[in-house]
Structure 1
Amino acid sequence: MSQILRNIFHEYDPIASQLPFLGSPVPILTLTLCYLAFVLIIGPVFMRNRKPFNIKSVILVYNFLQVIVNCWLSYVFVATFYTHRAEVPDFGCLTKFQHSPKLEKLNVYGVYAFYMLKVIDYIETVFFVLRKSFKQVSFLHVYHHIMMSLFLYYLGTYYGSAGQYASVVALNCAVHAFMYTYYFVSALQPNMKLGLWWKKYITILQLSHFVLVLFHHSYPLLFRPKCDFPKGLLWFAVCQALIMLWLFGNFYRRTYMRVGQTGGVVKNGGKSVKNN
């Protein structure tokens, strides 16, 4: 498997590929297959004749830690790039920074931390299953979890740096910090009606995030043709941004805007969907 991937793409990055869960694809592929088997087959069968587990305390701790880690990672990327902005030749074309040890270290270990955060996100779907919240185990939810973790495995193992995706890390973590704050407050006070208005604007924030990602990765394709960042990775980001805008746009329309028989718009307090 490793040789096949090297033939399709290129050699492992000598530094990043030595980190746990990078290098050989066997661990992440095995974990992903186990994840799919549990959330789609084993978990629902196991929970069929059981009451939902009371795991409120575990969820509260999980959501709180997610807020802290996402805030920290977003801050580190923004603060480091701002502090070392003079060492960035072109913010429209972010690549590797061999001339800047600080930025290069952030790019290697920052994208690895982001990758591990997305692997840990698999746990959330397990919570849904154990609580019998099967409606939350949607195609959008499962697809996005798997796409992010497998792609970040490739980015870390073969490119070995965040590069142009540094913007994705900072934006994604900032959005997740707000989202998990909502989840934490909602889990802490399930009957608190004040939290209902958050849902709509969290989804709008998610959609805005994908628009920014789309523009940031389209820019070097249109205006920086000599940018050293791999064109395939740029096109992947553009395509994924369009796919997620479509999926989240459909979710927003179904959840918050339902056209009635009279043509009026009716608000619907459906559940918010994660963006990982």
Structure 2
Amino acid sequence: MSQIFQRIFHERDPVAEQLPLYGSPIPIIVLTLIYLAIVLVLGPLFMRNRKPFNIKNVILAYNFAQIIANCWLCYQFIVIFYANRADVPDFGCLTKFPHSPALQELNIYGLYIFYLLKVIDYVETVFFVLRKSFKQVSFLHIYHHIMMSTFVYYLGSYYGGAGQYASVIALNCAVHGFMYTYYLISALQPNKKMGLWWKKYITRIQLTHFVLVLLHHSYPLIFRPQCGFPKGLLWFAVCQSLIMVALFGNFYRRTYLQNKQNKEKEDINGNKEKSVKNK
């Protein structure tokens, strides 16, 4: 696998290669395999004859830390790019910035922090297993986590920076900041179901995020063919955006639209039965 990516990117980035968990693909591969084993096999077996664990305080701390980390990283990308906007010739084609130390540093170290956050995201699924919320351990959930962590590793390790994906990082962190705020409030008030009225808007925001990513990476392919960012990575982002729009769109349809229709049918049938009994 490493040889394939070396042929695409020609060489590993010397700076990224010195960072922990970035120098070799073995750590991310091992972590991902352990993650799959725990959430799909070992975890369910361990919880089979056990009651759900009460890990509310751990989840609260985790959600709060995720809010701080994601909002901080989103802020860093927006502020540093804005402060150095004169060094960005075209926001529609973001590559490396050798003439801007601030952008160059953000390009690699900002991506590296984002990568660590995507690996830490694996813990969320473990929480689902420990709480026996197996319904939340869906294909969409697992696929999204693994795809993000493994790809961000290769992006930083071989390309050596965020490049066009800087927009993805800012958008993704903003969405996750909002999402973990919902999780935090829901964990504080688990019995009130107060989040249901805005839970669906999180999915809408995620869908909007993937559409924006699709447009942002399609732009240089169509209007900036001379853009220095690797075409393969642009096509990957376009294809992944389409996949995620389809998966999240299907989840939204099943969870909110279909359930709403079923509930309306039940209400109609219930009203009919009441009227018949009254007669």
TM-score (norm 2): 0.92
Q: Distance in 1 between matches of 2:209 and 2:265?
A: 28
Tell me which amino acid in the other structure corresponds to 2:230.
P
- In the other structure, the counterpart of 1:269 is none
SS at match of 2:240: helix
Segments of 5+ residues of structure 2 without an aligned counterpart are: 268-279
Q: Could you say which residue in structure 1 is the equivalent of 2:273?
A: none
**Residue identity opposite 2:235 in structure 1:** W
Query: Is 1:138 the equivalent of 2:138?
Result: yes
Preserved contact between residue 186 and residue 193 of structure 2 (Cα < 8 Å): no
What is the RMSD computed on CA atoms of the aligned residues? 1.8
User: How many Å apart are 1:194 and its aligned residue?
Assistant: 2.8
Paired residues of 1:52 and 1:132 also in contact (CA < 8 A)? yes
Deviations 1:59-85 (A, max 9, x none): 000000000000000000001101111
Partner of 1:203: 203
Paired residue total: 266
Q: TM-score, normalised by structure 1?
A: 0.93
Partner of 2:223: 223
In structure 2, do the counterparts of structure 1 residues 43 and 154 end up closer, same or farther at CA, with 3 Å as the change threshold?
same
- Cα distance in 2 for partners of 1:172, 1:265 equals 38
**Aligned-residue offset at 1:23:** 2.0
In structure 1, the residue matched to 2:81 is: 81
Kept after mapping to 2: 8 A contact 1:67/1:180: yes
How much does 1:2 deviate?
A: 4.1
Of 109-118 and 251-260, deviating more is: 251-260
Does the C-alpha gap of structure 1 residues 120 and 84 become closer, same or farther in structure 2, counting only changes over 3 Å? same
Q: Is the 8 A contact 1:93 1:164 kept in 2?
A: yes
Aligned to 1:214: 214
The question of whether the paired residues in 1 share the 8 Å contact of 2:218 and 2:238 is answered with yes
Q: Is the 8 A contact 2:182 2:195 kept in 1?
A: yes
Query: What does residue 54 of structure 2 align with?
Result: 54
**Larger helix fraction of residues:** 2
What is the percentage of aligned positions where both structures have the same residue?
A: 74
Contact in 2 for aligned 1:53/1:130 (Cα 8 Å): yes
Higher Cα Rg: structure 1 or 2? 2
Q: CA deviation at 1:198?
A: 1.4
Amino acid at match of 1:150: T
- Relative to 1, partners in 2 of residues 1:196 and 1:260: Cα closer, same or farther, differing over 3 Å? closer
Query: Against the structure 1 CA distance between its residues 160 and 262, is the aligned structure 2 distance closer, same or farther, given a 3 Å change threshold?
Result: closer
Shift in Å, 1:11: 1.0
Determine if contact 1:93/1:227 at 8 Å carries over to the other structure. yes
2:101 equivalent to 1:101: yes
Does the CA contact (< 8 Å) of 1:217 and 1:237 recur in 2? yes
Q: Is the 8 A contact 1:257 1:265 kept in 2?
A: no
Aligned partners of 2:53 and 2:131 also within 8 Å? yes
> Secondary structure, in 3 states, of the residue corresponding to 2:195?
helix
Alignment of 1:1-276 (within 5 A): 2-3=2-3, 5-7=5-7, 9-258=9-258, 260=261
Structure 1 pair 4–88 and aligned structure 2 pair: CA distance change class (3 A) = closer
Q: 1:6: Cα distance to partner?
A: 2.5
